[in-house]
Structure 1
Amino acid sequence: MKKNLLPLAALLPLCAAAQQRYNIVYIMTDDHTAQMLSAYDSRNIQTPNLDRIAQDGVKFTRSFVANSLSGPSRACMLTGKHSHKNGFTNNEHGIFDGEQQTMPKLLQKAGYQTSIVGKWHLVSRPTGFDHWDILPGQGNYYDPDFYNEKGSYKVKGYLTNIVTDKAIHWLDEERDPNKPFALFVHHKACHRDWLPELKYLHEYEDVNFPLPANFYDDYAGREAAGKTEMEIGKHMTLDYDCKIMPRDGKGSHLLPSYLGFLDRLNTQDRAKYDYFYDSISVDFHKRNLTGKALVEYKFQRYMRDYAKVVKSLDDNVGRLLDHLKAKGLLDNTLVVYTSDQGFYMGEHGWFDKRFMYEESLNTPLLMHLPKGLSARGEINEMVQNIDYAPTFLELAGAAIPNDIQGVSLVPLLKGQHPKNWRKSVYYHFYEFPAEHSVRRHYGVRGERYKLMHFYNDNDAWELYDLQNDPTEMHNLYGDPKMKNVTKQMKKELLRLQKQYDDSIRFQQKL
């Protein structure tokens, strides 16, 4: 008797259906640094809901970005490629090419439903998403505008709450429950100018945050660091950043923007805001602070407002986790929490990011792992934001294109420790001249040493021993004792530039 055999082509969909296909919830914040997340550092604040992600999953201890800037970092995540390959190198002149291959598009082809809510910051309209509801530009903390395929509209409330509301609404009301999904929840928090949720205005006002050990850095031996414009003492404004209104009504060039943000509040909410910060302004002017006392006052105001913004963020991460659990989704969903880069909380006397120094090169990375992924606790292998795309694709059962430059983290999530895992990461920052005046540079970060090269208008090298000098205060480049280390690091830098096909290597002599 002749058997009826299914053709191979008919079997393929059955194989795909049999494979475990995890849902993905990718939470990305802006400028949230590990120093202000208690799973990494409990000295400053507590973030119990964010810590929950690590407690039932993993915490990456060496998670890095390829370009410490909002738009470029997002482009690296979407494409799995370094900035010079995805074409979005800087915020000043960049427009993301939405026609190119992206991870969300590949997830769609693999049968996933995709959605993004919140911050986009890539100028062009989102592609590869079945649903998108995003902020124009940076967005506003208070009563923000959104836009989607139907047009622009305004929403009443605090932005961090609203983004979470939209994510939950899509999960409950708009997604197809018969399809696996990838939901991208992108917050504006903790971006400058750190406007708190009104109910948290008084939080942290009784806290005096410790100054970082290198707060009064003199930038000796680091020429480019001394030229930047992001010192708390010199460049953080009293009005826009610290919310101190000038006595004469005349403030920094940023003051009109700040007042514009506040004008979005209704009369009642504006009164609450003004009552709190006006009293702080009055107190400040009575003090007549100068010198270090003034600098340290600005630091405390910065830290307090930043912490307040994180508190609302932590609340909302908890709200989303609780909702996923209540809906029975958590066991089959990979939940990723990260930021587009790190941030300086007074280290080197700075705020902002951009540099390849550790505080902005590092980014938090926590993952709740669903059933079937057995890793728990800390993962110490070096990972980078170009790795998210291939990770999600492998979990979706989709092929990873050869031109993707990142590597899948799935082996690490299964508790494996591949012997051939990377021992260094490549970094390249492009945005100069621009705000904060951080010079262009590229570099390699290895297990112990870091080598950086500032180029174009500022030709200078920097070498750090991260084991003996974790705060990167002593540039060892040119030290005869470091000749062999320098040679090896330059060799590794060139190897990575060739591997990632960064043409800058042909313009510089190593």
Structure 2
Amino acid sequence: MKKLTIILSLIILNSLISYSQNLKKDSRPNILFIMSDDHSYNAISAYNNHLIKTPNIDRIASEGMLFTNACVTNSICAPSRATILTGKHTHINGKIDNHMPFDTTQVTFPQLFQKAGYETAMFGKLHFGNSPKGVDDFMILPAQGDYINPDFITKKGDTTITGYVTDIITDLTINWLEKKRSKEKPFMMMYLHKAPHRPWWPSPEKFKEFSRKTFPEPATLFDDYKNRGTAAKTAEMNLLKHMTYSHDSKIRPETLADMEKVEPSIIEIKNGFYGPYGRANDEQRAKYEPILDSINDYFKANWPSMSDEEKMRWKYQRYMQDYLACISSVDDNIGRVLDYLEESGLAENTIVVYTSDQGFYIGEHGWFDKRFIYNESFKTPLMIRWPNIIKEGSTNNEMVQNLDFAQTFLEAAQIKAPDDMQGESLIPLLTGNNKKWTRDAVYYHYYEYPSVHMVKRHYGIVTKEYKLVHFYYDIDEWELYDRKKDPQEMNNVYNDSNYANLVKKLKMKLGKLRTKYKDSKELDQKYIEITK
């Protein structure tokens, strides 16, 4: 009897120890959300390797799932981030453009993670608000932030860190993962890069490397927009006519002053060159100056005699050299974080997401920037790795949006999503249950007009096959693109009689989507009035 009592006692003790250990260790997955700013999917080799190789970003795709039809609800920085945080369209969360205030009563998904026992952190670029909600620890850039010796907002006040912003954000991220987080809790980390946002200042090493490279031109670099509407013809984002010499192409103001006349005449951004570059210390300047000398000497000697076509090509190369150099640093640093996850044993139970806040024009249609519903700005890179859940090397072409991120993360973490979120969890797609995915169209709405780049207000519906767009405010124009026959979106077929029945169907479907997402003509007018 005594022996039996001892055995039972040992069984109970082991059960209690096991139960205690399970209480201490939360087995829910960690989430590492990596986002860059203005990263074109055409500048990621997992999508297209004609410009740059991004082996570390590609690792996430090769070890997880690559989405080929991921897109945004509103292609501009702060509104996109507000949509990601809330799982709601911008007309609901209030952040319709970069100027309108975010509705701070909105619940963000980090708050829900924090409440559910996750440890949360955010390092890098938030873009709006100085005190992110729902994060236990943060160091964020004020507004757009700086590439060189950036300032950071922290819970303890502002601080400046010497170095290159992409390296620093990564240092902060790895330091938190290694030394600051609780080892007993799962984590939700937002690792947010400033790069490759304009103005593109690479690290000195990448600046030297990439300034010697030449890149292939996009087929539509010299687009004349003849088969498009007013919006494409009047947008102010042409490389030749609107990309500035100092702020963008690294021509010193002194160089321009020494030249009699520089055509085309472009209004320079105040402190556009020395605002960012003035932050460099003497040691950093010593590394930048030889490359800047080379660029400026060439420009001064050759620009006056160049044809417009030659000038366009020169500007494109200068743009790509700096833009892609910034991306190369992002890729290197993502590799550092992925390596840390592997070495620390965290990789096995960590969902890793890579995306951008939207797409970006890198010379397609002669443009830079974003804003349009057209593919290059509407589509965004998205890849997700989740060991033992997502099949390695898989690809998905369903219509998914940044609207869906919050609900996806919440479901993965076994946290109930609020009923007023408007996205759909991607878990069925991640686990191979594509039949459970019922969405066949997405809704888009852009508001920031009149404003920089002068892209007109528009909303639209996009399916895998077609894109129907309504431009409004100071015009009333419709456009329709056949995405299969015309992937570069060069021909508006809205008035083509062969598409007449399709237009009717898509308009009806667009109306249903506007109702579903609680958008309307009345709301359009409200935002017109309050943004005048």
- d(CA) in 2 for partners of 1:404 and 1:306? 35
Matched ranges for 1:57-456 at <5 A:
57-91=64-98, 93-220=99-226, 221-245=228-252, 246-248=255-257, 252-254=267-269, 256-287=271-302, 288=304, 289-374=306-391, 376-456=393-473
261-270 or 448-457, larger mean C-alpha shift: 261-270
Shift of 1:124: 4.8
Determine the structure 1 residue equivalent to 2:32.
25
404-413 or 363-372, larger mean C-alpha shift: 363-372
489-498 or 365-374, larger mean C-alpha shift: 365-374
- Alpha-carbon deviations, 1:31-56, whole Å to 9, x = none? 00111000000011100111111111
- Calculate the TM-score normalised by the size of structure 1: 0.94
Contact 2:63 2:392 in 1 (8 A): no
Q: 1:371 to 1:507 in 2, by over 3 A?
A: closer
Residue number among 459, 468, 478 corresponding to 2:495 in the alignment? 478
Matched to 2:418, the amino acid is: P
Q: 1:125 to 1:97 in 2, by over 3 A?
A: farther
Contact 2:126 2:143 in 1 (8 A): yes
SS in 2 for 1:257: coil
Q: 1:16 to 1:454 in 2, by over 3 A?
A: farther
Shift of 1:504: 2.9
- Calculate the TM-score normalised by the size of structure 2: 0.90
Shift of 1:371: 2.7
Shift of 1:209: 1.7
- d(CA) in 2 for partners of 1:193 and 1:335? 28
- d(CA) in 2 for partners of 1:450 and 1:336? 27
- d(CA) in 1 for partners of 2:455 and 2:140? 29
Residue number among 29, 52, 58 corresponding to 2:59 in the alignment? 52
Unaligned runs of 5+ in 2: 1-19, 260-265, 526-532
Matched to 2:486, the amino acid is: D
Matched to 2:233, the amino acid is: G
Unaligned runs of 5+ in 1: 1-12
Shift of 1:259: 0.6
Q: 1:96 to 1:483 in 2, by over 3 A?
A: same
Q: 1:18 to 1:411 in 2, by over 3 A?
A: farther
Q: 1:16 to 1:434 in 2, by over 3 A?
A: farther
Matched to 1:23, the amino acid is: N
Determine the structure 2 residue equivalent to 1:10.
none
- d(CA) in 2 for partners of 1:213 and 1:373? 35
Contact 2:24 2:184 in 1 (8 A): no
Q: 1:194 to 1:53 in 2, by over 3 A?
A: same
Shift of 1:353: 0.2
- d(CA) in 2 for partners of 1:203 and 1:255? 28
- Alpha-carbon deviations, 1:147-197, whole Å to 9, x = none? 111111100000000000000111112111101110000100000111011
Percent identity between the two aligned chains: 47
Structure number, greater radius of gyration: 2
Q: 1:374 to 1:295 in 2, by over 3 A?
A: closer
Shift of 1:505: 7.0
- d(CA) in 1 for partners of 2:295 and 2:225? 32
- d(CA) in 1 for partners of 2:523 and 2:140? 39
Contact 2:66 2:382 in 1 (8 A): yes
Contact 1:375 1:414 in 2 (8 A): no
How many positions carry a matched residue from both structures? 495
- d(CA) in 2 for partners of 1:46 and 1:69? 26
251-260 or 417-426, larger mean C-alpha shift: 251-260
Determine the structure 2 residue equivalent to 1:9.
none
Residue number among 457, 478, 482 corresponding to 1:461 in the alignment? 478
Matched to 1:248, the amino acid is: A
Q: 1:421 to 1:19 in 2, by over 3 A?
A: farther
Q: 1:378 to 1:454 in 2, by over 3 A?
A: same
